Amino acid sequence: MKILVCISHVPDTTSRINFTDNNTKFDTTGVQFIIGPYDDYALARAIELKEGSGATVHVINVGLVDTEPTLRKALAIGADEAIRVNAEPTDSFFVASQIAAQSKAGNYDLILMGRESIDYNSGVVHGIVGELLGLPSVSPVMKLDIEGNKAKLAREIEGGKEYLEVNLPFVAGCQEPIAEWKIPNMRGIMSARTKPLKVVEPVAADGGIKLSKFELPPPKGAVKMIPADNVGELVNLLKNEAKVL
Amino acid sequence: MPILVFVESAEGSIKKTSLEAVAYAHAMGGPVTAIALGDVDKAALEALGTYGASKVLHAADPKLNKGVVQVFASVLAKAMQDEQADILVIANSSLGTPVAARVAVKVGASLISNVTALPDSSAGFIVKRSIYSGKAFAYVALKNQKKVLALKKNAAAIKEVGSTVQVTPYPVSLSDADFAVTITSSEKATGEVLLPEANIVVSGGRGMKGPEHWAMLEELAKTLHAATGCSKPVSDMGWRPHHEHVGQTGVKVAPQLYIAVGISGAIQHLAGVNSSKYIVVINKDADAPFFKAADYGIVGDAFDVLPKLTEALKNAK
């Protein structure tokens, strides 16, 4: 079985978000980049499948050369090969088109990724890749088991879970608790240095969207503290000041 | 040109977020054609006229009772064509967002999700959307003639603007290839307020000390007609199911009021709640970082404050 795991290169979850160039560029000053937390779950499940029943795991990222350490980390976690599509990931359709093109070339049985990236949170790349390839897409997947050519999945829905079955190949957007995050060990880190990291040029794709500018939310006002023995005052404020009751 | 709105139902009635999508399309200038798929209560569909739909299509084929993403995407792409609609509006959800993605590819539309406000059409078509888990916004121009918009909660206010309309049956021809995914079963909490839909959310953290104390939170939630949520450690420890986990890697909520009890306020939790209009934090540790993100705070023991608060709210009704 050949598995492709799509890796987003995103700011660490604790990052402070700022913009530069007249609010048109993300300010990377002091920001640490990581494997997208949801993609990390997808990767962990792929490695479990590899360890369980044998599989080849490739990882892919659409990004410029600065994303290579993130791909190397995915190799250290246990992926066999990495592909970097040498382009700025401008929008979901562009990124999905690159993944679809590489998926076709690599003939994968399973394409996994996170339910969404944590920078744009769009949650659409798995659907676009599925549609472009004419494959089913399922998200957010919290359980994935493969028996022969068939997969049994559980997907989170509002207020519960849905259980599904689908034949390979298909695309899945993953989330916890599909697998436990894996931390690379020293052997993994050493071997990652020599594993293949292929750089390919992008295919043409235009999703018809263009960023105009970024904006930060207005700063939060100061908190009003209410004594614990006067909850009536909180009720009063919620009713008459916030008007939410 | 009509704007097509996909409406989702839960337990027979139309989801509130879908009513927001109808209101959004109406505020854009309509005319609004709403479309529902599968088993939906007829009166609820007629009532969509009240919220701004001038036409309601209903594809009642029982094969549409289960929300298979590929099937829904094909039906909606066809409906855009049949109704000559350039714009499709959908509320973000576990079904709506993936469906939006596939429809956009089918019809060659500019696609945008997490939309938070009405478009600015003074120069092109620019929409505001939430990014970085609510920590920032982006203004994005949609350039294609066809557009698919998936809305974040509260993108538009639900208003009564019209009267009920007749429901038009919408016949569909479904392709077997779209049924590659089989939904075998589902587990769904019934009779509860759904977390992503709720106007008020009451969440508990490790400060609740154990699942056996949740009745206290549930009592407060019941009084407020609120949904209950929890922090990541609480769901990781199995005190509460995963679909109640609010945060960066869980559900992101946008209620009018979020009440956090015994949650310290890690940045990953805040990423799930920062779209809330008002935040109340109850924590016995006065230095809990959550107070910095709150509108109202009480330093106190949850087991002391919660019953008192529930009582005060009952009396205030």
Mean pLDDT by 10 residues, chain A (245 residues): 97 92 94 96 97 95 97 97 97 98 96 96 97 97 96 93 96 94 93 97 96 92 93 95 92
Best of A144, A212, A215, A239 to substitute, by most chain B Cβ atoms within 10 angstroms, is A212
Task: Examine the fold and report which residue of B122, B152, B179 is the final residue of a domain before the chain moves on.
Answer: B179
Q: Judge if B65 and B134 occupy the same domain.
A: yes
Residue A47 domain flag: yes
Q: Judge if B215 and B159 occupy the same domain.
A: no
Residue A143 domain flag: yes
Which structural domain range is residue A181 located in? 2-218
Q: Judge if B132 and B251 occupy the same domain.
A: no
Interchain pair B187, A160: CB under 8 A: yes
Residue B35 host element (H or E): strand B32-37
Whether B242 shows a pLDDT value over 80: the answer reads: yes
Q: Judge if B155 and B203 occupy the same domain.
A: no
CA closest to A169 among chain B residues: B180
Q: Report the alpha-carbon distance of residue B101 to residue B105 in Å, rounded.
A: 7
CA closest to B123 among chain A residues: A212
Residue B88 domain flag: yes
Of residues A35, A76, A83, the one with CA closest to residue A58 = A83
Q: Which residues contact A20 (CB under 8 A, 6 or more apart)?
A: A26, A27
Residues of A in contact with B278 (CB under 8 A): 238, 242, 244
Residues of A in contact with B295 (CB under 8 A): 220-221, 223-224, 242
Q: Judge if B165 and B295 occupy the same domain.
A: no
Residue A219 has a pLDDT of 85
Q: Which residue has the tokens 């769901």?
A: B235
Best of A14, A115, A131 to substitute, by most chain B Cβ atoms within 10 angstroms, is A131
Q: Which residue has the tokens 């009772």?
A: B65
With cut-offs at 50, 70 and 90, classify the pLDDT of residue B152: very high
Residues of B in contact with A170 (CB under 8 A): 180-181
Q: Examine the predicted complex and report whether its ipTM is higher than 0.90.
A: yes
Residue B190 domain flag: no
Q: Judge if B24 and B131 occupy the same domain.
A: yes
Q: Which residues contact B92 (CB under 8 A, 6 or more apart)?
A: A123, B17, B113, B114, B150, B151, B152, B153
Q: How many domains does chain B fold into?
A: 2
Residues of B in contact with A239 (CB under 8 A): 316
Residues of A in contact with B197 (CB under 8 A): 158
Q: How many domains does chain A fold into?
A: 1
Q: Report the alpha-carbon distance of residue B269 to residue B283 in Å, rounded.
A: 15
- Which one of B101, B248, B296 has the shortest CB-CB distance to A128? B101
Residue A84's CATH number: 3.40.50.620
B243 touches chain A (CB under 8 A): yes
Residue B214's CATH number: 3.40.50.1220
Q: Judge if B200 and B284 occupy the same domain.
A: yes
CA distances to A49, B225, B279, B296, B310 from A234, rounded to whole Å, are: 52, 18, 12, 8, 11
Residue B187 domain flag: no
Q: Judge if B97 and B134 occupy the same domain.
A: yes
Selected residues 49-88 of chain B with any CB under 8 Å from a CB in chain A: 69-70, 73
Residue B48's CATH number: 3.40.50.620
Whether B188 shows a pLDDT value over 90: the answer reads: no
- Are the C-beta atoms of B108 and B146 separated by less than 8 Å? yes
Q: Which residues contact A153 (CB under 8 A, 6 or more apart)?
A: A138, A141, A143, A144, A145, A163, A164, A165, A166, A172
Q: Report the alpha-carbon distance of residue A108 to residue B109 in Å, rounded.
A: 27
Residue B248 has a pLDDT of 87
Residue B191 has a pLDDT of 64
Per-residue pLDDT tens digits for B87-139? 999 999 999 999 999 999 999 999 999 999 999 999 899 999 999 988 999 99
Residues of A in contact with B293 (CB under 8 A): 220
Interchain pair A158, B10: CB under 8 A: yes
Which structural domain range is residue B91 located in? 3-179
Q: Judge if B21 and B132 occupy the same domain.
A: yes
Residue B189 domain flag: no
Q: Compute the average pLDDT of residues B168-197.
A: 89
Q: Which residue has the tokens 């998200």?
A: A139
Residue B280 domain flag: yes
Shortest CA gap A2–chain B (Å): 20
B304 touches chain A (CB under 8 A): yes
Q: Compute the average pLDDT of residues B208-231.
A: 95
Interchain pair B243, A215: CB under 8 A: no
Average pLDDT, chain B: 94
Q: Report the alpha-carbon distance of residue B132 to residue B155 in Å, rounded.
A: 17
Q: Report the alpha-carbon distance of residue B236 to residue B213 in Å, rounded.
A: 17
Residues of B in contact with A123 (CB under 8 A): 92, 97-98, 101, 113
Residue B184 domain flag: no
Residues of B in contact with A175 (CB under 8 A): 249
Report H helices in chain B: 16-27, 42-46, 69-82, 96-107, 214-224, 232-236, 267-273, 302-316
Residue A23 domain flag: yes
Q: Which residues contact B282 (CB under 8 A, 6 or more apart)?
A: B259, B260, B261, B262, B297, B298, B300, B302, B305, B306, B309
Best of A120, A126, A224 to substitute, by most chain B Cβ atoms within 10 angstroms, is A120
B94 touches chain A (CB under 8 A): yes
Per-residue pLDDT tens digits for B221-237? 999 999 999 999 999 99
Shortest CA gap B10–chain A (Å): 10
B249 touches chain A (CB under 8 A): yes
CA closest to A239 among chain B residues: B316
Q: Judge if B208 and B303 occupy the same domain.
A: yes
Q: Judge if B167 and B217 occupy the same domain.
A: no
Per-residue pLDDT tens digits for B43-84? 999 999 999 999 999 999 999 999 899 999 999 999 999 999
Shortest CA gap B9–chain A (Å): 12
- Are the C-beta atoms of B88 and B80 separated by less than 8 Å? yes
| pTM of the model as a whole | 0.92
